[in-house]
Amino acid sequence: MKIKELLNHTERTFSFEFYPPKDEISAVDFGINVGQLLRLDPSFVSVTYGAGGSSQERTFGLVDFLQNKIGLNTMAHYTCVGSGKDKISKDLEYLRSIHIDNLMLLRGDPPKGEVDYTAPVNGFSHASDLISFVKENFEFSVGAAAYPEKHPESSDPADDLANLKVKYLAGADFLVTQLFFNNALYYQFVEQARKAGITCRIIPGIIPITNYKQIKRFADMTGATIPYDLFQKLEENQENSEKIYQIGIDHAIMQCLDLLENGAPGLHFYTLNKSRAAVEVFESLPRMIREKY
């Protein structure tokens, strides 16, 4: 089902993001995680791939499996990286042939070892260009990324918001935010987006913290701010993995409850292929809240 149609009939969506397993052991672990999520009946799931377009083939295989074998409404990530218009058209024809209706369209990160993004021959420099091309030539429902604390490459929040509006006007049907840990930043961002004329649904992206070093690396990479009191708790307990997990779960539950009680149109969980934390957070929400979709 197209997500843009789903949004017309649901007040809230609950969704989960995966990436393709790297080896056989990871694949077994992944299967267990997907099994845990099936009983939650998510609105949709999404599948990403690595920097520079790495693992794209495995991403396509996984979206096929999740959509057509498991029966989950699945969104495929697709980036500008390494693809000219001919390859993009071929890839999207393939995704359409396996009944994928939904795409998350992104510029993408440069390949490992490269600092700057270089547009491929006959390709695109910006996600907005990719969105325009897809909307003009295909009938996918299209999502795009939003950054409550601005994209790391943007000069300032105003510049980032202007770029977001270009993506929206290019045809993005909905937006999913980058991870954040301070809800006030999301509320402020949504308010600014509305004032700028961006009227589509803006779904908050949540990542339950389960590992101190990993989340610190992600925060550094994305520019996400970790509130001082949360950071202090994590730092004080960084050698205690169980304590870190519980601190992360407690904060994510608090975030999610606050977001939903204040009108957020759902939640998108970045699972890092470890669904236990996302499942625990989701199931902690009052039944009347999580069944209201």
- Cα separation, 283 vs 293, in Å, equals 15
3-state helix, strand, coil in the chain (%, to 5): 50, 15, 35
- Cα separation, 22 vs 103, in Å, equals 22
Distance (Å) of CA 269 to CA 8, 114, 119, 123, 287: 21, 29, 30, 30, 18
**Closest C-alpha to 59, from 72, 44, 75:** 75
Three-state SS string over 16-34 comes to EEECCCCCHHHHHHHHHHH
Q: Hey, how many other C-beta atoms are within 10 angstroms of the C-beta on 189?
A: 23
Q: Which of 5, 11, 17, 236 is catalytic?
A: 17
Indicate if 136 belongs to the active site: no
Residue type, 266: G
Which two three-digit tokens encode residue 56? 């794209």
- Cα separation, 165 vs 143, in Å, equals 13
Q: Hey, how many other C-beta atoms are within 10 angstroms of the C-beta on 221?
A: 10
Instruction: Return the SS3 of 244.
Output: helix
Answer yes or no: are the C-beta atoms of 69 and 42 closer than 8 Å: no
Instruction: Return the SS3 of 175.
Output: strand
Catalytic residue set = 17
